[in-house]
Amino acid sequence: MLSDVACRNAKAAEKALKLHDSGGLYLFVSPAGGKLWRVDYRLDGKRRTASLGAYPGVSLSAARKGRDELKGHLAAQADPAQVKRQEKRAKQAMAANTFERVAREWFAAKVAAWVPSYSDRLMSRLEADIFPPLGSRAITDIEPPDILDAIRKVEARGAVELAKREMQVVGQIFRFAIASGRAKRDPTQDLRGALKSPGRQQHHRAMPRDDLPDFLKALDAYDGEPMTKLALKLMVLTFVRTGELRAARWAEIEALDGPEPLWRIPAERMKMRFEHLVPLTPQSVAVLQELRPLAGRSPHLFPSPSKEGFMSNNTMLFAMYRMGYHGRATVHGFRGVASTWLNEAGYHPDWIERQLAHDERNEVRAAYNSAQYLAGRREMMAAWASYLEQSAA
């Protein structure tokens, strides 16, 4: 029986040496000094030799374990060399089945059932949020904490609902891998309850997108207060929060007659307390130009004799009630309508989240990020305004 000391002290000689252990196992010491574990055995009456790796990378105890496994294959009347080849091929196949490879196969199997805008947006999110941390890893090596780390980064942008949807997509990919024999379990099942709650959404019920054309036509025909009508038009075009629109001031509007008009909402008026920039499209500019004479000398876009000095909280909502939308949608819900359309149109999730002025966790970073993606957001807002014009036609 060999000892680790004997293996370690074995010296090369002019001729190769065999230091025997037991059960056919021995350490082969070449004249060049290499030390290799080998096992002699017989199969179908013929003498065979199996290699178990080099010492000290493969220790004495590991070599003995390999010998015992080989003997087990022989007892089961299996060729150890063939078993080894099969195990090697299986490992290679498993390593080739990276998360990204399986995800793209899943995507290819499903894409025919999706509209292009949705499929493009879905792949964009996978490429932006999921593939960088997980894509190159074998799908069988990915554990629940790995997935949670990736999804937490999405949550950190304030995109809580998006994080939930991306977790669901990752789960679908794992279930596809299980069905195709490349994974044994879905680790997202262990993450139930680990994500932040998106909160109650019914309070700000969004209008179904299919109802938007009829609403826009009804808004054009609205015969109530002109200022309220214009407020609703601007709300749909900019999808800011209701309070941000009602308290808007003319001093916040920049370059109205210029090539890149902008609405700069100061941090103190924002829910998340950081400055927010709203690119103004030609359609929004037209609303503001129509609104200007109605506002008179007031510093507010929507002046009112109320204590606050600007439009009350329920003015636009009651106008929607008059138009027949009681219980069907809320003013704040237009943010959801816009977000859905922009996501399905394939715009970058970060542009959308920034335009929605969602939570920025790092206050210092937020202070410098109000103009982030501004060029892309201006393009995005123009597309949204054009869509609204077409829908109202």
Active site residues: 241, 271, 332, 335, 358, 368
* C-alpha–C-alpha distance, residues 158 and 213, integer Å: 30
DSSP, residue by residue, 30-80: -TTS-EEEEEEEEETTEEEEEEEEETTTS-HHHHHHHHHHHHHHHHTT--H
Peptide bond into 208 cis (omega under 30): no
CA 359 to CA 196: how far, in whole Å? Answer: 13
Question: 286-291 long-range contacts, Cβ below 8 Å, gap at least 24?
Answer: 287/230, 287/233, 287/234, 287/237, 288/234, 288/253, 288/256, 289/256, 290/230, 291/227, 291/230, 291/234
Residues 154 and 162 sit within 8 Å (Cβ to Cβ): yes
| CB contact at 8 A, 281 and 385 | yes
Q: Which two tokens stand for residue 226?
A: 């002109």
DSSP codes of every residue in 123-192: HHHIIIIIIIIIITSBGGG--HHHHHHHHHHHHTTT-HHHHHHHHHHHHHHHHHHHHTTS-S--GGGGGT
Whether the Cβ atoms of residue 43 and residue 75 lie closer than 8 Å to each other: no
Q: Which residues is 133 bridged to in the sheet?
A: none
Q: What is the DSSP string of 193-239?
A: T-SPP----GGGPPPPGGGHHHHHHHHHT--S-HHHHHHHHHHHHH-
Between the alpha carbon of residue 53 and those of residues 7, 10, 268, the distances in Å are: 14, 16, 68
Q: Which two tokens stand for residue 267?
A: 């941090």
